[in-house]
Structures are given as C-alpha cells and as structure tokens.
Structure 1
Amino acid sequence: MDDWIELNRANWDERAVPHAASPDYAVERFVEDPEFLSDVVRFDLPRLPDLRGRRGVHLQCHIGTDTLSLARLGARMTGLDFSAEALAQARSLAARAGAEVTYVQATVDDATSVLEPGAFDLVFTGIGALCWLPDIAAWARTVAALLRPSGELFLREGHPMLWSIDETQGEALVVAYPYFETAEPTVFDEPGTYVASEHEFQHTRSASWNHGLGEIVTALLGAGMRLTMLEEHRSVPWEALWGRMVRTDLDEWRLAVRTELVPLTYTLRAVKEA
C-alpha cells in the first residue's frame, strides 16, 4: 500500500479539532491550571527521569498535551507531527498556556531532515504512536540519530498484545490481528474516534501496523541503544475493550476480571550508547 501516509494524514487532520474540543483531552484544564499534566505523563511520573533543563523531542505529538506536560516538568520541548491541523491545535494550546514549545511538521522518517541530529537529551513517544509506522527498525534508527550520546528514549505504548485483540468480540478476548510486523498494513474503516465527540467524520479509513515487543527491543538494540527499563502494565489510558473494563485510581482502565490475562501497555526506557 503506497498511499498510507496521505490516508492517515487525512484521518488525523480531521480529528485534530474534535480532539482539541473533546473533554477527554482536557485542553481547557491545561489553560486554567499551570500545573495540570496529561493522564499519560502523570501515570509515568515515578518512571520519568529528571527533565529539568533537558532538551526533548516528542515524536508524533498530535495536539501536544503530552508535549506541554513534559515542558511543565522542566524540559525544553519540541513536538513533531505529520498533521498540519494537529500542530495548529498544539501551537494554540501552548500559546494559551503560556508555554515555550517548538512544533515542526514532518513524518518520523523525515525527522532528521528538519531537526538537528544528535541534539536531544530525550526522545519521547506516547500511547498509540508506533502503530502508524510500517518499519520499527527505521523508527529506532531515527530515535538514535536524534539523541546525543547518553541521551534517552522514553516510550509508553499500547502493548502489541492489546493491538492484536478484536475489541468487538463481546466478553471473549479474541486475537484477530497480527502481533508481529507485516509488510502490508491492516486497514480499518471506523466512523468515530477514541474520545467523546459529536463530529461526523468523513475520513474514516486508516492503515496501521503492529510491532511485537521483541521486534521493538531488537530494533533499539540494533540502533545502538541500551535498554534500561521495560515494565508491562495491566492498565491503559482509555476504555480499550468496551464493556469489559473498570476505571483505576490513576484514571486508567483495566480488565474487570482476571487482570493477569494480558498486558495492556508498557513503559520502556533506553539509552544511546556513547
């Protein structure tokens, strides 16, 4: 499939404004409360390094709520995304919140052509990003290229086991989609989005890939990174499996019964070898 970038760009361009307007992204909370952090970043506060004074880049930043949160923890942040509409919302949020965040438009593969290689102390990638990339080894090389020696990757992602489950199958956990990376994407046609919105979407098709946890780790090792943490979690920041989850005290969702069955997300840290 050759046109997957434009297919996905149209999908994300249309979702930028409804996402910024949705209470699930809490944009107004960011504006009103200078200490407010996104749920994703707040969950990982015990695992994040000290960000004060560090230069960071958030790959696939979308509307910038995680990017702004990292800036509030002291990092000098740049956000990168391929969607012009998402970046417009991210810039608006940063301006309204009084934050100094730089945003640039590019795909991950083109990141080193718009950002200075070897200039960053931190590369951050958040929930629901890697599935939009066809080649995890290329992503790992980009991460390593952006980092200075001893710079660090911080990744919180949906677990590839979660991405392989068919969420429409009632109470059963049915593996219906590839766990491992495939040459061709899985194409979905979904009328809605993952947050509350009354918008009627026109661009409903998207193309995505899964990447096994071993493939991700191996790609990072091959790019000259050293793994320093890998923690699998039983929770996810949204109700990923409708009707089968309950809310946790960290504003996350877990399986209502038998939480030991499958991991839902993971946090990974890796350092670029000197």
Structure 2
Amino acid sequence: MNSELDSMAINLANWDERAPAHAASPGYAVERFLADPGFLSQVIRFDVPRLGDLAGVRGIHLQCHIGTDTVSLARLGARMTGLDFSPAAIREARRLAAATSSDVGFVESDVYSALEVVPAGEFDLVFTGVGALCWLPDIRRWAEVVESLLRPGGRLFLREGHPMMWAMDERITDRLELAFPYFEVPEPLVWDDADTYVPTDVQLAHSVTHSWNHGIGEIITTLLDRGLTLTQFVEHDSVPWEAFPGRMEQTTLDEWRLADRPERLAHSYTLQAVKPSWAGS
C-alpha cells in the first residue's frame, strides 16, 4: 500500500466513526431538517445570495458527508447527487434524504474515482463545501475531476476554509502564528484528536487523520489550467465553526470570526468558476 492509500484508509476509519456522531449532534441540525421543510444548513444559508437560482440545475456535491448541504441545495431547487468516500456517511445521508422526502441520490466513492460512479460532462453544478479540500493530497487531480464532471457552461461553486487560516496553529492562544504549510506539500500533516468539531460526547477510537493544505494560487491556477474561467472570488472574515476556540465571536449569520481585529485574517472564501460553453465542441 502506498502512502496516499495509507492516508485514505486512516481518514476513512475516522470519518466512518464521525458520521453517526455528527448525525446525532445538534451541530448538524438533523432534527431541524425533519421539522422544517424549508430549513437550510448553515453553510448553504451563508451563500444563498451567491448561489443564485438553482431551479432544475443538475448538481453534484463532492465530499458530501452526511448530506445536510446536499439536501439544502435540493431544497433550493437543484437535482442533486451527493458523493462521499465513507459508507457510514452515505448511510446517514440516505436516511436524511428519506426522512425529509428529498429526491437526492448518494453514491460512495472518493473524489479522484468519481468518474467511475457518475457520468462525465453532465452536471450544471459541482459544489464543494467547507472543510473538504484539506483531505485531498493533490489539488491538480481534484481540478481534473471537477472539469470532467461539468457540462459546457456548467460551474464550480466552492466555499472553503482559507489556506492562511489552515496554516495557523489554533492551539496557540495569545497570538496568531503561522505554524503549518500554506502551500501543498507531499507529506500530510498528521493529527491525533479524539474530539470532533461539533458538540458530541463521542470520543473517536480512530483519532488519527492526515490532511494537506492548498494555497489560493494553487487552487485557482489548477482550475485555469483545466480551462475554467474564474467568475467570483470572495474572501470572508468568518467561518461556520469556532476555528480558534475561546478567541472568536459569533456573527449574525451564525458564523464565527476572531473577536480581536478579525480583519487581520482571511477566514474562508467563496470561489466560482465556469467551464466554457464551447468546451468539447
């Protein structure tokens, strides 16, 4: 087994364990999805003005986890498919879709193998949400998959944690310190943490994870190299979770930002890019 497959197996064990804990946590608000047919996930609510009209749009959500963002996009009118490498996450996502009578399909695959389980060139929208890209070792291969999935004229919609924020050490509480790579490097960052990022009493037995950072320039350049046209890039001073515990304040949009001079740090970003309408013609 090569190092990339080792990392994938390690991360899969972690996410298979996280999935049921997240589905039961108030952090993912599954009960609110069941109670309110109009409820949208926190991540999707933030970007509704940028998503635009999704009525009839055929979309795929890469690294969909337990499907709350996927179902939210469907509630905005899109015809969605969710894709994730964790069978436990796919089970939870299918339960959510069934319980909410959402016409959403879910398929099990890692991102790099997506074209083995879904058709190429048939999606109007490829969506990727917060906290996804850091689990991929090679951003160039990701961009190849995105471009291949999109139909001519289709768009990528990406909301992610900013690589500058990912490079900060959240454990240091008296200052902001760049402690981890900003640019993509071959070797993963190795973490060992039995907790997760939403409220739960579960302590993870498979607590080790491997992750990678990808610089903004690397992400944009790989998309441009695949022929996509960048149509929006917005940096935000907030993220959907308390990334620096004890040092952040909650905003009116249920986001979190540094309580002390948040303008110092780009916390997250929204990026959109379009595949040219003539592509493949």
- The interval holding the TM-score normalised by the smaller chain is over 0.9
Confirm or deny that 1:122 pairs with 2:125.
yes
**Of residues 79, 87, 93 in structure 2, which corresponds to 1:90?**
93
- Partner deviation per Cα, 1:209-262 (whole Å, 9 max, x = no partner): 000000000000011110000000000000000111000000000110111101
Offset of residue 171 of structure 1: 2.4
Asked if 1:106 is matched to 2:128, the reply is no
- Report percent identity of matched pairs: 60
Matches within 5 A, 1:227-238: 227-238=230-241
Gaps of at least 5 residues in structure 1 are none
In the alignment, is the contact (CA less than 8 A) between 1:122 and 1:154 conserved in 2?
A: yes
Residue 218 of structure 2 is aligned to residue 194 of structure 1: no
Alignment partner, residue 142 of structure 2: 139
Q: List aligned pairs for 1:1-274, cutoff 5 A.
A: 1-2=3-4, 3-273=6-276, 274=278
Which letter maps to 1:193? T
Whole-angstrom distance in 2 between the partners of 1:19 and 1:98: 20
Say if 1:119 and 1:148, in contact at 8 Å, map to a contact too: yes
Contact 1:180/1:212 (8 A) holds in 2: yes
How far, CA to CA, are the matches of 2:32 and 2:176 in structure 1?
35
| Cα distance per residue 1:10-55 (max 9 Å; x no partner) | 0000000000000010001001100000000000011113110010
Query: C-alpha deviations, 1:136-180, integer Å up to 9, x for none?
Result: 011001000000001000000000001000000012111111000
**Equivalent residue of 2:19, what SS?**
helix
Corresponding letter in the other structure for 2:46:
F
Partners of 1:240 and 1:49 lie apart in 2 by: 28
Question: AA paired with 2:60?
Answer: V
Question: Structure 1 length normalisation: TM-score?
Answer: 0.99
Return the alpha-carbon distance in structure 2 between the equivalents of residues 58 and 223 of structure 1.
19
Q: Which amino acid aligns with 1:32?
A: A
TM-score, normalised via structure 2 length: 0.97
Query: Matched residues in 2 for 1:141 and 1:197: separation?
Result: 36
Segments of 5+ residues of structure 2 without an aligned counterpart are: none
Taking the aligned partners of 1:122 and 1:21, their CA distance within structure 2 comes to: 29
Q: Which amino acid aligns with 1:29?
A: R
**CA–CA distance in 2 between the matches of 1:189 and 1:217?**
30
CA distance in 2 between counterparts of 1:112 and 1:225 reads: 18
Letter in 2 for 1:101: V
Q: Check the 8 A contact 1:171/1:244 in 2, yes or no.
A: no
Q: Distance in 2 between matches of 1:45 and 1:255?
A: 23
Q: Distance in 2 between matches of 1:74 and 1:31?
A: 18
